[in-house]
Structure 1
Amino acid sequence: MIKKGLKIFAISFAVLLLLFISFIYLMYSNFEKLGHAEIVNENHNDTIPFYYSNSGHILIDVSLEDDTTTYPFILDSGASNIIFNKEDSDIELENDGFSFGIGASRNFFWSRIKKLDKIQLGSLTFENIHLKSVDYNAECFEAYGLIGTGIMRHLDWQIDFEKSVIIVSDEINKDSISPNALKFKLSENSFGHQLRIPIKLSESGQIISPLVDLGSNSNLSIDENYIIEDSLSFDSKRFYGSGASGLGDAVDEKFEGRIYLIDTLSFVGSGHSINNFPISAESNSLNLLGLGFFKKYKTTISWKDDLLFLEPNDSVQNFLGKTAGMGTRFVKKHKKIMISSLTEDSPATKSNLSIGDEILSVNGLSMFNEQEYCDMRNSISGQDTLTIEVKHQDTVRNVQIIKRAIF
Structure 2
Amino acid sequence: MLQLTLLNGFSQNRKQLSKKGYVKQKEYFVEIPFKYVNKHIFIEVMISEKKYNFLFDTGCEITTIDPKISNEINYKFIKEISLSGSSIANQKVNLVELPNISISNLIFEETYGMMQDLSYIKENKESNKVNGVIGNNLMRKSRWQIDYVKKVIRISNKIDQFKNIPTAKKIELNKKDWGLGYVDIELNNQKHKFIFDLGSSGELTANHSFVKFLKQKDTLLQQEKQTFPVGKIKVGEIELDDKSITLEKNASSLLGNAFFENYLVTIDWDKNILYLNQNTN
**TM-score scaled by structure 1?**
0.59
Aligned to 1:111: 93
Q: CA deviation at 1:49?
A: 1.6
Match of 1:156 among 139, 143, 167: 143
Match of 1:139 among 110, 119, 122: 122
Q: How many angstroms apart in 2 are the aligned matches of 1:235 and 1:70? A: 52
Larger radius of gyration between Structure 1 and Structure 2:
1
CA distance in 2, matches of 1:198, 1:98: 35
Instruction: Give, in angstroms, the shift of residue 158 of structure 1.
Output: 0.9
Which string of whole-angstrom CA distances, capped at 9 and with x for unpartnered residues, describes residues 334-355 of structure 1? xxxxxxxxxxxxxxxxxxxxxx
Q: Are residues 85 and 165 of structure 1, via their aligned partners in 2, closer, same or farther at CA, if it must alter by over 3 Å?
A: same
Query: Match of 1:120?
Result: 102
Aligned position for 1:63: 46
Structure 2, unpaired ranges of 5+: 1-7
One-letter amino acid of the counterpart of residue 198, structure 1: D
SS in 2 for 1:209: strand
Match of 1:200 in 2: 186
Any conservation in 1 of the 2:147–2:264 contact (CA below 8 Å)? yes
Q: Which has the higher contact order (CA 8 A, sep 6+)?
A: 2
Structure 2 counterpart of 1:265, from 233, 237, 242: 233
Alpha-carbon distance in 2 for matches of 1:138, 1:175: 32
Cα separation, 1, equivalents of 2:116 and 2:217? 37
How big is the shift at 1:239?
Answer: 7.8
Aligned to 1:32: 16
Matches within 5 A, 1:184-333: 184-190=171-177, 192-203=178-189, 205=190, 207-228=191-212, 230=213, 232-233=215-216, 240=223, 256-267=224-235, 270-314=236-280
Q: Decide which moves more: 230-239 or 216-225.
A: 230-239
The one-letter code sitting in structure 2 at the alignment partner of 1:129 is: T
Q: Tell me the amino acid that sits aligned with residue 177 of structure 1.
A: N
Q: How many residue pairs were aligned?
A: 268
Is the alpha carbon distance of 1:103 and 1:188 closer, same or farther for their aligned partners in structure 2, counting shifts above 3 Å?
Answer: farther
Pick aligned residue for 1:177 from 148, 164, 177: 164
**Alpha-carbon displacement from aligned partner over 1:292-313 (angstroms, at most 9, x marks no partner):** 1111110011111111111111
Could you tell me which runs of 5 or more consecutive residues in structure 1 were left unpaired when the two chains were aligned.
1-22, 241-255, 316-407
The one-letter code of the counterpart of 1:225 is: S
How many angstroms apart in 2 are the aligned matches of 1:105 and 1:232? 29
Distance apart, 1:74 and its partner CA: 1.3
Counterpart of 2:66 (choices 84, 96, 106) is: 84
Distance (Å, rounded) in 2 between the aligned partners of 1:185 and 1:34: 20
- What's the TM-score once normalised by structure 2's chain length? 0.84
- Conserved? CA contact 2:63–2:136, under 8 Å: yes
Q: CA deviation at 1:261?
A: 1.8
Aligned 8 A contact 2:170 2:237 in 1: no
**C-alpha displacement at 1:59, in angstroms?**
1.2
Aligned to 1:166: 153
Q: Structure 1 vs Structure 2: percent identity of aligned residues?
A: 24
